Structure 1
Amino acid sequence: MTDPFVQPEEATAAEAIAAITEELELFDDWMDRYQFIIDMGRKLPPFPGGWADDAHRVPGCQSRVWMEATRRDGKLYFAGSSDAAIVSGLVALLLRVYSGRSPQEILDTDPVFLKEMGLLEALSTNRGNGIASMARKVREVAATQA
């Protein structure tokens, strides 16, 4: 079975935020940025079907979102999925920043970057609340592991 947990592409959460910000800035309009985010979601590792249940569901999301975490060598790795393409992309974006980091690095990385990237303004209120719920879930897991 393929490892469902997202492996970090960048050495730190801050580097991941910088890389995503640069990638989004390549696009002039939000339709192209949405497509880029959707494509990120398509590249997520396959999420085990057995995890698409209420125990893994992230509350506060309009679409259905599921996440799982595991600890390896002092770092937290996350797997995630959604039944909506754009939301899967948002899951991928968050996990690129947070997966494979120490609990302390996760807690030190404020999700304010979502606002700074312009994502929260560009999304509907419900989607904005949903991604905030996902970020809160990741940070809650980190807080229990710190």
Structure 2
Amino acid sequence: MRRHDYEGDPNAPTPNSLVPAASVVVVNDRGQVLLQRRVDNGMWALPGGRMELGESLAGCGIRETKEETGVDIVITGIVGTYTNPGHVFAYDDGEVRQEFSICLLGRPTGGELAVSDESHEVAWFDPREVDSLPMVEGIRRRVNDWRSGQYPVVR
């Protein structure tokens, strides 16, 4: 399913959904960050997705990271909360979701890089390399917030 991100766009569609979600800045012992290239918009992103019933926020981040990248992680902190009502995601099926995401910090514990039906590339990047990657602004903001070292951030 395709997705289009709107942030601060007066022509954005009206949201009809609010879904808790987690994303994770996973950092390895070399200081590299784990990113996936999403199938739905072709952009590089942090692993993450919607929380399921009966699941904790940390459990959501761990599950989504494993599903989308093949990497096992532990959660070590929180980068920030992202709840901008002016940031919406429009999906092909008519859902228009208002942003509600908690960005966690994680460390890899095992697994191997692997693509999924949601990602067609997965890689570790030096933080300086991230600036040149195609990425939606909301994800870039999370990465920059992590790089600032001044978290947790509330947005």
TM-score scaled to structure 1, two decimals?
0.28
| Structure possessing the higher relative contact order (Cα contacts under 8 Å, 6 or more residues apart) | 2
- Name the structure where helix makes up a greater proportion of residues: 1
- Name the structure where strand makes up a greater proportion of residues: 2
TM-score scaled to structure 2, two decimals?
0.27
